Homo-oligomer: A and B are copies of this chain.
């Protein structure tokens, strides 16, 4: 899978809500009511990641969640990252 150019990444980011291109990855952060809510959403995301066989670099502190997506094998951002970003957005919007 080939990496996307910076221009292509910026163009596609316009179709997503709240994601940025930071240090070579698509990045976003969310805040939830509490830890339980944050981890519940993480669990839903985890199943989707497994289904897509693509995994985030993510961190959680209590009610906050930070997610970074890139494609290690390709050493950049690919279609796989945008597909997963869109799925994550849909999971969070459905809350």
Contacts and interface: CB of A to CB of B under 8 A. Distances in A.
A55 B35 contact: yes
Contacts of A17: none
Nearest to A35: B55
Interface stretch (A59-67, A76-84, A85-93): A59-67
Interface string A18-41: 000000000000000001100100
A interface, size bucket: 10 to 19
A9 to B, nearest CB: 21
A43 interface: yes
Contacts of A36: 50
- What are the 7 A-B residue pairs with the smallest beta carbon separation, nearest first? A59-B59, A57-B61, A39-B46, A55-B62, A35-B55, A58-B60, A36-B50
